[in-house]
Amino acid sequence: MTSKWRREFENERSRLNEVVLSSGNLGIKRFFALDEQAYHAGVLPANVKELMGLTASIVLHCDDCISYHLIKCKEAGISKEEFYEAFNIALVVGGSIVIPHIRLAAERLEILFEKG
Amino acid sequence: MTSKWRREFENERSRLNEVVLSSGNLGIKRFFALDEQAYHAGVLPANVKELMGLTASIVLHCDDCISYHLIKCKEAGISKEEFYEAFNIALVVGGSIVIPHIRLAAERLEILFEKG
Amino acid sequence: MTSKWRREFENERSRLNEVVLSSGNLGIKRFFALDEQAYHAGVLPANVKELMGLTASIVLHCDDCISYHLIKCKEAGISKEEFYEAFNIALVVGGSIVIPHIRLAAERLEILFEKG
Amino acid sequence: MTSKWRREFENERSRLNEVVLSSGNLGIKRFFALDEQAYHAGVLPANVKELMGLTASIVLHCDDCISYHLIKCKEAGISKEEFYEAFNIALVVGGSIVIPHIRLAAERLEILFEKG
Amino acid sequence: MTSKWRREFENERSRLNEVVLSSGNLGIKRFFALDEQAYHAGVLPANVKELMGLTASIVLHCDDCISYHLIKCKEAGISKEEFYEAFNIALVVGGSIVIPHIRLAAERLEILFEKG
Amino acid sequence: MTSKWRREFENERSRLNEVVLSSGNLGIKRFFALDEQAYHAGVLPANVKELMGLTASIVLHCDDCISYHLIKCKEAGISKEEFYEAFNIALVVGGSIVIPHIRLAAERLEILFEKG
């Protein structure tokens, strides 16, 4: 079962990815593949890679990227306390300018832990 | 004929530009003039300049700037396939963090090519 | 008396700050304290510090941070003409990419000066 | 009397500005003029404007811009304690990623206060 | 014939690319391939793509990337006057914070046009 | 035993941190403490936190921060293959603009693994 927010986020993401990929641009298609593969388990486990993706998304101020990695981290078993230690690192590295993104992430995290 | 999205975007932009310029701040007024002049055809044609403005707007994550240059590029005759080659360069330079902006740009591009 | 926009902005900010702080993460709590203290009057007066926070928020493209410092600057007695001189500096330093943020700031400034 | 560091910095800056301006590009020339005028005293005094330029330069990670505004702030009478309050705001807004720039700024500040 | 600066820049770049690629990381290797392919002539000619890469490099403050695209643009036949129109767009989009990068680019451009 | 590069990097960092902290600014001192504490082992182990700090430093283009986290990651037992998986994520998230920073990191990594 998943929350309304998550369903809408994932549907919109899929819908627009198809618009982009239907362009037939080969470079973009290959980039999307590389992007997905980068987070597959390797010598580093998938949950660590997702935490790195989450941290990078926060310090780069990308709410959509944050939402995506929140969901993936949650699926990889990251606990709420672990999420907040990640937020703290992103906050110290990126400064108060990332606080609005952490506020939004915190709200979405509540939804993910309550309703999936 | 123009789409509802484009009309609203352009009206809102004009309305708020007037709020800013009605402040009477001379530096801001001159900056706005420089900004417009930078894209006039010179030794480089206007469509190349608009593509450069579009690429810069994507790698700097500015959705409003992207919308503006999408419209200007379209008016300057840029084809859909050319737009996607520009998106690909912005994606490679700027990384996955620009994907949400390319998704939005792709959607607006569809509207521009269908309804103006 | 305060405007509807300001009430909603401040309520939402407070509500989400509580979500973040209820996590019990000590590092984040301490960061929030440091953030607030940085703007207290010291050898530099509070209004100058708020103008610095506003400028930094504009060049870093953070609308929420801009809104917060607009309100604090207004409370510290910054006049409309002073705000626009600050916007001009942010515009020259940060370039046309900050214009959408200045447009939004200009609109919110009108509300603040009319309705509080 | 000025320090060796400052003389070299200012000479190199002047020399390269002339290379840029000798291109004859009118837009760039006008931008340079706008940039200088933005810091002239207006309703905000020049020292406050320089502090805003310094803060923006730190959070945007520009060492050359920081050096330039350190010198201008010093000439405008900013004290060492005031500089550090400005550094603190830039640090809180921009996060630990600005620390290397603050380290460099601190070193140059020592030189400016000792040798000019 | 090429200048000392260009030879050293290109040798160092090649040497370190080999260090990176000798790691055997497949994702990085594929990214490097995508990066190169993005600038191949397609529906957009190679010189326009290089100008887009140059503009993006300037607004993102990357001196090494600027040097690389200066050389590629020069090889693609971009004239000095065209370079400066590109610099002007980057300056207007990215603001005064890009001036140090334009100063460096201007100096390297002189070397490229004089000595290759 | 440590390499010449590492000794010089760490000495310079310590020397300038003392210049900054000798200012007596309490906010900066507290920020430095928060920064250090964020990487202490908590529910997330220290090596994962260091990898997050490294990734954030790369996507934010901070060579000094990268050097610092390379050393800390190495001390926390990160293997060369793990480092390159981290570089790959940073590259995909941050785009080709981070390549110069990955080149520098790769060179320093060689030194760290050979000479400490």
Give chain D's end-to-end CA distance (angstroms, integer).
6
Task: Write down the number of H helices and E strands in chain B.
Answer: 6, 0
Q: Tell me the percentage of chain A whose pLDDT exceeds 70.
A: 100
Average pLDDT (D77-94) is 98
With H, G, I as helix, E, B as strand and everything else as coil, classify residue B60.
coil
Structure tokens at B6: 């484009």
Residues in chain F: 116
Could you report the per-residue pLDDT of B60-90, keeping only the tens digit for each? 999 999 999 999 999 999 999 999 999 999 9
CB contact under 8 A, C85 and B17: no
**pLDDT beyond 90 at F1:** no
**C49-52 contact pairs (CB < 8 A, 24+):** C49/D85, C49/D89, C50/C76, C50/C78, C51/C78, C51/C82, C51/C86, C51/D44, C51/D48, C51/D52, C52/D51, C52/D52, C52/D55, C52/D86, C52/D89, C52/D90
Calculate how close chain B gets to A81, using CA atoms only, in Å.
26
pLDDT tier, C85 (very low <50, low <70, confident <90, very high otherwise) = very high
**pLDDT beyond 80 at D1:** no
Substitution target in A34, A92, A102 with the highest count of F β-carbons within 10 Å is A92
For tokens 């695209």, the residue is E69
pLDDT in the model for residue A1: 72
- Which residue range is the domain that position F8 belongs to? 4-115
- Mention every residue, 6+ apart, whose C-beta is less than 8 A from residue E54: E66, E69, E70, E73, E86, E90
Could you report the per-residue pLDDT of D12-56, keeping only the tens digit for each? 999 999 999 999 999 999 999 999 999 999 999 999 999 999 999
Q: How many domains does chain A have?
A: 1
Query: Which of A31, C48, A70 lies closest to D86, judged by CA?
Result: C48
Could you report the per-residue pLDDT of A98-114, keeping only the tens digit for each? 999 999 999 999 999 99
List CB contacts (< 8 A) between D97 and chain F.
56-57, 60, 62, 65
- Mention every residue, 6+ apart, whose C-beta is less than 8 A from residue F3: F111, F112, F114, F115, F116
DSSP state of D42: S
pLDDT in the model for residue B107: 97
CB contact under 8 A, E30 and A30: yes
**pLDDT beyond 90 at B12:** yes
Residues of E with CB under 8 A from a CB of B: 34-35, 38-39, 42-44, 48-49, 51-53, 55-57, 59-60, 65, 79, 81-82, 85-86, 88-90, 92-94
Query: In this structure, what CATH number is given to the domain that contains residue B29?
Result: 1.20.1290.10
pLDDT in the model for residue B86: 98
List CB contacts (< 8 A) between C60 and chain B.
none
- Mention every residue, 6+ apart, whose C-beta is less than 8 A from residue E30: A30, A34
Could you report the per-residue pLDDT of A18-39, keeping only the tens digit for each? 999 999 999 999 999 999 999 9
Mean of the per-residue pLDDT values for chain C?
A: 97
List CB contacts (< 8 A) between D42 and chain C.
81, 85
Nearest by CB: E37 against A27, A34, A37: A27
CB contact under 8 A, F61 and E62: yes
Residues of D with CB under 8 A from a CB of F: 61, 80-81, 84-85, 87-88, 91-92, 96-97, 99-100, 102-104, 106-107, 110
pLDDT in the model for residue B36: 98
User: What value of ipTM does the predicted structure carry?
Assistant: 0.96
List CB contacts (< 8 A) between A85 and chain C.
25, 27
Nearest by CB: C53 against D43, D65, D93: D93
Structure tokens at D91: 């640090």
